[in-house]
Structure 1
Amino acid sequence: MPTSTPVGSPGASRADLVADAALALLAERGTRGLTHRAVDEAAALPPGSTSNVARTRQALLELAVRRLADREARVLAPHELPDPAAGPAGLVDALALATHRALTRNRELTLARYELALEATRRPELRTYFDAAGARFRDRLTAMVTAMGSADPARHALSLAAWSDGLMFSCVAGSFSSEVPGPEEVRAGLQELLEGMLGR
């Protein structure tokens, strides 16, 4: 996401170049446009380079899922991560910032995530990788709402994630794609939801 390495960036590993190109192709062309040859071309690599990194289509998809998780995990800089001492306001600020970035400067990654999520519904072997990648965020969010006194942390974490995911889908791929809300609108919605959960 914001601190991600662009395709062709100096210092990126060959695997990262391949994965970043795969994510860009998924966002631009969907899963049908994801081929080893297309990734070679998008990453400006010699023919056959992608096959050397990920021999099969399944391996290429798994590589893309792992890279997506790494890039999305860096959506917030360390100083932007929520401070437990800040209480619900800190969590709302961080979630709103991350969600708004997914709608704007990280829109390509959001589209790639939807493509991978749909592909995982058809490939049980990919589902394992996709769910494991998502568990990092889910576990962190559950821990945060637990620290804030949630009476049902797992359910509340799911509701927060579902609200954010629903907003992102509606504004990136759904019928609200031309009406992306501003940061304060996103924050207001999250604040209302979290306050209702915590009974405040």
Structure 2
Amino acid sequence: MSSRSIGAPSPRRQAPDSGRADRIADAALALLAERGLRGLTHRAVDEAAGLPQGSTSNHARTRLALLRAVVRRQAERESVLLAPPGGPGYATAADGPEELTEALAHALHQYLTAHRPLLVSRYELALEATRRPELREIYDEAGRGFRGPLVALMRALGSPEPERHALSLVAWCDGLMFSCIAGSYHASVPSLEELRRGFVELFTGMGLAGFAPPGCGDAAR
């Protein structure tokens, strides 16, 4: 069974001249994860990216401009993680419960095992967005690109309240990721099987068609 991606906007096609901008933003994301916002300076990004001094300032003149570029790059990196180019495509409601839970569990497990720094940088940016309305706008815009497909998925699964159920799904995933990255469960990561069972239990509780509690039907793995 292939692990398809769910709830991700389409990855951006890179322009030929976007290499340096992405290099700068990727270096900034790495600094955020390693040092936090206090360690994010134009000079530090130049050094981390291996670029001449002043390169980051030429790309993003102010700190706010740099943060905006980093938020955009964070969303792009996450969209690639959820929808890898050349992959088999998106799982949909028509693929059935097993395919959906497999795709969601796989994406979440990838975050928690292979992309932990990307989650740390996300939390740093989320906290900063609560303090800076001008950053909040672009942060929310990036979030809408992920939220829309999830609402559509809930609707396709027959949810009578797709907006509320999409929020429940996001809250469950975000809560689990935070607990395993920065919370009291940081020392352990749930297995793929545990994540699959968690999604089945969540969707069963929502009363979505085709889902049954683990051990009570073929929908469970």
Give the alignment's TM-score, normalised by structure 1: 0.91
Distance 1:162 1:88 in 2: 20
Question: Which 10-residue stretch deviates more, 82-91 or 152-161?
Answer: 82-91
Matched residues in 1 for 2:90 and 2:204: separation? 20
**Alignment-derived partner of residue 71 in structure 1:** 77
CA distance in 2, matches of 1:126, 1:103: 26
Matched, 1:26 2:35: no
Which of 56, 60, 73 is equivalent to 2:62? 56
Pick from 112, 115, 129 the counterpart of residue 120 of structure 1.
129
Question: Which contiguous aligned blocks of 4+ residues in structure 1 show a shift greater than 6 angstroms?
Answer: none
- Offset of 1:180 from its aligned partner? 1.0
Percent identical among aligned pairs is: 60
2:114 counterpart residue number: 105
8 Å Cα contact 1:87-1:148 kept in structure 2: no
CA contact (8 A) 2:92 2:153 kept: no
Question: What are the ranges of 5 or more consecutive residues in structure 2 without an aligned counterpart?
Answer: 1-10, 12-16, 212-221
- Structure 2 distance, partners of 1:44, 1:85, is 47
Aligned counterpart, 2:94 = 85
CA deviation after TM superposition for structure 1 residue 32, in Å: 0.6
The Cα of 1:195 is off from its aligned counterpart by 1.6
Query: What's 2:5 paired with?
Result: none
**Structure 1: runs of 5+ lacking an equivalent:** 5-10
Letter in 1 for 2:78: E
Aligned length, in residue pairs: 191
Q: Secondary structure at the match of 1:75?
A: helix
Q: Match for 1:47 among 53, 63, 66?
A: 53
Structure 1 position 90, deviation (Å): 2.5
CA shift, 1:83, in A, is 3.1
In the alignment, residue 157 of structure 2 is paired with which amino acid? M
Please list the CA deviations of residues 23-66 of structure 1 after superposition, one character each: whole Å capped at 9, or x if unmatched: 00000001110000000000000000000000000000000000
Give distance in 2, aligned partners of 1:32 and 1:192: 40
Q: Which residue is equivalent to 2:196?
A: 187
Q: TM-score, normalised by structure 2?
A: 0.83
If you compute each CA radius of gyration, which structure gives the higher value, 1 or 2?
A: 2
Letter in 2 for 1:85: A
Flag the structure with higher helix content.
1
